[in-house]
Every structure is written in structure tokens, then in C-alpha cells.
Structure 1
């Protein structure tokens, strides 16, 4: 499974509806779930592991710090058909810190190593780690490499590095995605010093040109908000980053292929806006983009709204946008 390009796990955004939609735009990108806590999986009443078969390759991101619980959830993930299990060591929110997982785990590399080993002992799919470059005042390169070396010694050979440190106190999760300085060279240096590891970088990446530049130094790139807010930026991922010569779907073709999916979702008791909220940015930068967003936003939540919503919204778009 190539990790050349992946879409970051994003709470409230990268649910199964978004992932199905993203898969129509890129056949090759590795897709991640939202972070799911071990407590939700083990004690929750809902199905937190459901996904569409069309989503492969798809990875489950877990939040937790109890090795036994993580091992149990990793085993469930493999049984359900996930291609990878990823441990979150990057989220800085207070709620996550109170649960003793996320970015605060960078201060406990041996515990992370124990968690990784516990998961690897019970599954055959890859167990990977997504981390920051540091936390609070512990932001030296030595701190990062000590963490990487300890976790890698437990058998983890795949890391995604968000190239910002996390401030655990004083900044909100949103601010932690924007304020700490991006230091891509730290990820580059990790790859030089740990050449045997698979290293991807995350943070602030918005174009395929930037992806191509990072791939001169690293094994992979992970794109977050841009892949959600401007999803068609992924349209040429397969061709430019994977050498896939299959034709790119137009925006209109993507919409047309989403109609049967939306029909199935509604027939199973879902509402149109569960799906269409992820499609608002499809026409960003095109004539009629605002009209597309407004039409979906104003109509998708209405009771009884069916899949014809997408066909009607597409028909209202300028011809130039439909053909692009």
C-alpha cells in the first residue's frame, strides 16, 4: 500500500460519506477515519467502525493510551477490513489530554512504544503513528528523534509527522493548526537520520506542487483541510503522484456518481445533508461555486429531500463549471 498521498484524519469531517466522495476523485489516496477513541469502540452503543468497501485503502485512527484496549480495537479493525491502524499522538485538545492520549503522549515515548507493540502483536496490518515535532518547550530535534527511536524500536516503521509542535496549554486545537511555526526541515532530517523508516509530512500543504516538492525528501505527504474544503485539488493526484494514466473525472461526473450513493443513504433512513455537506467545496474556484454551495446549503436539510437535489444543483451550474 503506497502512502505517497493521504488525507488527514479530521474530526467531524472525514466520515464515511466524505471518504466515499474523496475516493471518486482519487482512486489511490490513502484515506483516514476521524479519530475514534478506544472507549467509544469498546463501550459506545454505536458502530464506530463502519465504512464503505469502496473506500479502500482506508485506515482507522485510534485515540487511546491503554495498550490492552488499543490491541482489542486494532484487532476489531482488522476483522472489519481496515488496511491500517494509526495511533494519534498529535491532537492537543484539553479533552484528549484529559484522557491521556493525543499529543501529550510525546512525553511518554515508552508508553507509545508499548501501545504499538500491543497492537502489532495481535494484527497483521500496519500499525502506524501520527505525531507532532514537539510539545510546549520540549521542541528540540533531540526530543523528536528520541521519541521516533523509542517507538521505532517497538517495531513501528511508518510515521506521519505534523511539522508543527503542539502547545498543550494556551492554544485551542484550531490555533494549534495555525500558530506554531511549520518546520518541514525537521521531517526531512528525520528521514535522513532514519532512512529505513517510512516518513510522511503533514501541515499547511495546499497544492500538488507543494506535494511534489516534499516528495523529493520524504516518502509521503498528508493533506488536511485543503483536501476537505477544496476536494477537487485531488483530481490529478493519481496521475501526477502515482503514475496512474486513467482519465480524471470531471466535477460533474463526480456529482453524477454520488447520486446513487445519496439515494442509498436516504433509503436507509439518512438525510441528504449528511452527505452533501462534504461536497460544498467541489466547485471552488469555478464559475457558479457560490451558487452551488448556496443551493445545497439551503435545500439539503429540508424534510423529505431526495437525491434529485444533486442533479438539480448540477443543472443550475454554468456549463463551464459542469465541463471542468
Structure 2
């Protein structure tokens, strides 16, 4: 088994959100946090526009590619392509509850087929260099499964097949009766179940996901023996969470990321994207929550939201949004 890096914090893969611009922005906030792509299906990787689907900047590293699928041969081919692109980890999605995923026989419904998941992992493991970890992100179980037996069965199967780490969303998924959105909130969280899994597998990296909204919660879960914490929507809606991650979770020296400097650091990639024919909103939509809870945050969001959709919108929109913030955050003269 490849020694898995000490990823104490990760940003979860999120469809329509964790694209290359989101990841580049998040990397400006934290140098250490593990970042994930959106889930990409194995057939799309094999047959689709790879530059669009898989392209990323080396600055994003460490970054992992999440694949969806249930055909071992397809997943092996897609994993090999991902490794050739330079991804530092290949992850198999065994947690997404959407209808489209179920109809394709992948995602959370695979919790019911641990032997098949093991075959997929074994094929992926054989297809990529030993230096590239192959990992699994799963749920506690689905529908009427008992999480005590379902999670152990899945974990034991994939670890025997060569998986290097497990990331567990600490909820069951209800494939019958709940929408994908409801599956992110309604099934109760059970952090204790993931802690028990880690206690049973002391030499395996076990990370936890689900409902984690701040670094205080992350630190508390790490203190219970878990190896890593994965934050999802909270890190997207309030990216400033990541600004203190390197210091608090990794013990990195130096000050936390300065939010204004983070914005300045995005100018060059935004300018390059605009010069290549891209739109301002492709990047700035991920930055709307950066100043959440701070004076001027509403004006920042409004100016970016309204300005980025205008034809020919450029860096002047960013300047206008920053001006609205700084006018509210600079101390007034006596």
C-alpha cells in the first residue's frame, strides 16, 4: 500500500463548483489543503474533451481527480489518463446519490456491491503508478443497510483490493424517497461510526466528511483520532475558512492568508483567462463568499454578480468590488 500523505484537510468534490478556477482560488487561501475535481465519469474521460474535463494548473497541487463509474476496465483506463495528466490522487465516487448516478450504476448505490467496488479499485490500482494513491469516498450505507456492517464490508473489500485511503461521508444515503439535495442534510450525521471505523483500522487513513462547517469542528474530529477532515459547502460559501487552515491544522509558520492579497493574486490568472476569450464570471463566481460576515460583503457580492455578466467585463469589476469593501473596512480618521 502506498503511504498516503497526511492530508488533514480537504475540500470536497462538488459538482458545478470545484472546477479549475475554484481550485486555483482555494489554493491561494491554503497551500496545504487537498483539493478535488468535480466528479467526472470514466466514459467522459475516455471519450470526451480531456483538456476541458481534466485540465488544471500545477499550482493547484495537491489535487485529486474524482471518477464515477462501475466498470473496472473503464475506470482503469480513466485512472491511467488522470495519472498521465499529473493528478496526485485518483478517487472513486461511492457516495453520490443523484438519480443520474444511480441509473449509471455508480455513486452511492455501489455501497450495495462491495465486491464490484473492490474489482474497480483493483483495476485502478494496477493501472496507475504506485506513487499515485487510489482512494474511495463513500457513505455509511444506503437505504435500509445497517451502517455497522455496510461500512465495514465496503472498507474491508476496497482495502484488500489496494485502496490507499477512505474518505467517509458520515451519513447514509436514501436512494428511495430523498432528492440529492435532501441527502446532503436530512439523513442524520453519525461521526461516531466513522471514529469506530478508524479505531478498527488504526493503520489506514480514514477521513471524514459531512456537515463540517468550521476549523473548530475539524480540529475536534482530528483530536478523536481521524486522519483527515473534508469540508464541502461551508468552504465554498465562506472560503475564508481556508485562510487559517495551514496554521491551525498543519502547524505552518507565518500569518494566515490575507484575503485582500488573495484577491490580488487572482488578477493574473483572471487576466490570462480573459485574454484567452474566457468570461470574468467563470472565475469570480467562486469568490463571492470570500468576505462573508465582513463589512461590505454584500456590496462585494452584488458588484461581482451583476458586473461579471456584462459584455466585456474585466478586472475593473474586481476593482469596483474591492473599493466597496475597503471603504467599509479602513479605519476612519479621528
Whether these two folds match at TM > 0.5 is yes
**Which residue is equivalent to 1:156?**
163
Match of 1:11 among 15, 20, 25: 15
* Aligned 8 A contact 1:314 1:322 in 2: no
| 1:215, distance to aligned residue in structure 2 (A) | 0.2
Deviates more, 1:298-307 or 1:36-45: 36-45
Would you say 1:49 and 2:54 are equivalent positions? yes
**Which residue is equivalent to 1:316?**
324
* Aligned 8 A contact 1:6 1:221 in 2: yes
**Which residue is equivalent to 1:116?**
121
Would you say 1:276 and 2:281 are equivalent positions? no
Would you say 1:24 and 2:31 are equivalent positions? no
Matched pairs, number: 323
Q: Distance in 2 between matches of 1:286 and 1:99?
A: 43
**Which residue is equivalent to 1:206?**
213
| 1:169, distance to aligned residue in structure 2 (A) | 1.2
Match of 2:226 among 218, 223, 226: 218
Q: Distance in 2 between matches of 1:62 and 1:231?
A: 24
Deviations 1:170-221 (A, max 9, x none): 1111100000000000000000011121000000001111000000120000
| 1:321, distance to aligned residue in structure 2 (A) | 3.9
| 1:322, distance to aligned residue in structure 2 (A) | 6.9
TM-score of the two chains, using structure 2 as the length reference: 0.94
| 1:260, distance to aligned residue in structure 2 (A) | 1.1
Q: Distance in 1 between matches of 2:290 and 2:60?
A: 19
**Which residue is equivalent to 1:75?**
80
Q: Distance in 1 between matches of 2:137 and 2:322?
A: 38
* Aligned 8 A contact 1:60 1:77 in 2: yes
Residue correspondence of structure 1 range 28-43 to structure 2 within 5 A: 28-43=32-47
* Aligned 8 A contact 2:296 2:328 in 1: no
Q: Distance in 1 between matches of 2:202 and 2:143?
A: 27
Match of 1:183 among 185, 190, 206: 190
| 1:140, distance to aligned residue in structure 2 (A) | 3.0
Instruction: Give the RMSD, CA atoms, in angstroms.
Output: 1.2
Q: Distance in 2 between matches of 1:192 and 1:63?
A: 28
* Aligned 8 A contact 2:39 2:93 in 1: yes
Q: Distance in 2 between matches of 1:61 and 1:7?
A: 12
Would you say 1:102 and 2:107 are equivalent positions? yes
Any stretches of 5+ residues in structure 2 without a counterpart? Answer: none
| 1:46, distance to aligned residue in structure 2 (A) | 5.4
Q: Distance in 2 between matches of 1:24 and 1:177?
A: 27
Would you say 1:301 and 2:309 are equivalent positions? yes
Residue correspondence of structure 1 range 251-266 to structure 2 within 5 A: 251-266=259-274
Deviations 1:5-37 (A, max 9, x none): 000000000000000000000000000000000
User: Partner of 1:167: helix, strand, or coil?
Assistant: coil
Q: Distance in 1 between matches of 2:257 and 2:195?
A: 33
**Which residue is equivalent to 1:290?**
298
